Amino acid sequence: MRKGQNPAKFVDQVARPERITVALLNYIPLLSGYYAESLDVLKVCLESLRAHAGLPFDLMVFDNGSCPEVRDFLIQEKEAGRIQYLILSEKNMGKGGAWNVIFGGAPGEIIAYTDSDVLFFPNWLKRSVEILETFPNVGMVTARPFRTPPEFLTATLAWAREHAVLEEGQFIPWEMFLEFNLSLGQTEEENRKVYAETRDWQIHYRGVTAFAGASHWQFTAYKSTLQRFLPFDMSKPMGQVRQLDRRMNEAGLLRLMVSDPLAMNLSNTLGYLRGELKRERRPMQRIGWTRRLLEWGPVKKALLGIYNRIFRWYYR
């Protein structure tokens, strides 16, 4: 039998969420090996996205089964009011499983998604939303121009040829192009050929400039658009993340990027902030024999294979 009245009945107003939800997906299963600096990377990501958004937003964090130290940090951030919505998954649901929850449950009209290893620069969100609201039928907007697979650009280029001013050329400077690809573990040598043989597509529409292309690691989109593609069924935690890129292109939606770098991939270290990417471009003859041995194809493949096998034993 109930005693008294629920005090909540007398509350005459509730808090309204911000129009934009910034949604961050995180997975740090341990703080050693590959993940030794990942918590520091997460902290830099959170600090930069808050400081440089240029628009008000609520922050949602989905943690995909991280270790206790990381969960404790996120709980502290939530209790301090720096995270508005925190979801702690017991197990790693993979990116697809996390997207199902995020895209289905984020309260904002607009969702700005990011992986947990992204560094943001001033007005990254404001500039992304400007493109989202200026261009018609936009699927997603990424806060950095870089070269994406051409098979995912067909719908964007077809629209631009008919409705906007479309230019083809080398609009992304070589240093900017290389900076991003080095962060993915690639080498300068392999990128020189790619840079020479590929082009950028620049689109001008109603006074706003965007590049053709976008990517799953960071993007801004209308929630209603993202929900058209639910649910995501990815059988592996990683490896099928381009599913969204492909499906948006097939649906005829525009996939766009801002015209200057407002986001940067940090990967699993703070090496970019320490300037280590530039040092990686040293001539091969100045690198010690131990490093050359470790980078030799057969040795690198064997050692990484052993590492991956051990990791799966503990964290599959």
**Residue 312 covered by a domain:** no
Residue 243 confidence (pLDDT): 84
- Per-residue pLDDT tens digits for 277-308: 553 433 333 445 565 566 556 665 566 566 55
Ranges of the chain with pLDDT below 70: 1-2, 4-6, 8-14, 234-240, 277-316
Token pair of 240, please?
Answer: 């099928």
**Closest residue by Cα to residue 177 from 150, 145, 201, 208:** 145
Residue 221 confidence (pLDDT): 98
**Closest residue by Cα to residue 188 from 180, 215, 267, 34:** 180
- Per-residue pLDDT tens digits for 235-252: 655 456 788 899 999 999
**Residue 99 covered by a domain:** yes
Number of domains in the chain: 1
Helix or strand or coil: residue 263? strand
CATH number of the domain within which 219 lies: 3.90.550.10
Cα–Cα distance measured from residue 85 to residue 164, given in angstroms and rounded to the nearest whole number: 39
Residue 84 confidence (pLDDT): 98
Amino acid at 244: L
**Residue 92 covered by a domain:** yes
**Residue 294 covered by a domain:** no
Query: What pTM does this model have?
Result: 0.85
**Residue 158 covered by a domain:** yes
**Residue 3 covered by a domain:** no
- Per-residue pLDDT tens digits for 66-89: 999 999 999 999 999 999 999 999
Structural domain range at position 97: 20-265
How many angstroms from the chain centroid is the CA of residue 250? 21
Pairing of strands 208-212, 118-120: unpaired
Cα–Cα distance measured from residue 174 to residue 195, given in angstroms and rounded to the nearest whole number: 7
Token pair of 29, please?
Answer: 């299963």
**Residue 309 covered by a domain:** no
**Residue 298 covered by a domain:** no
Residue 188 confidence (pLDDT): 86
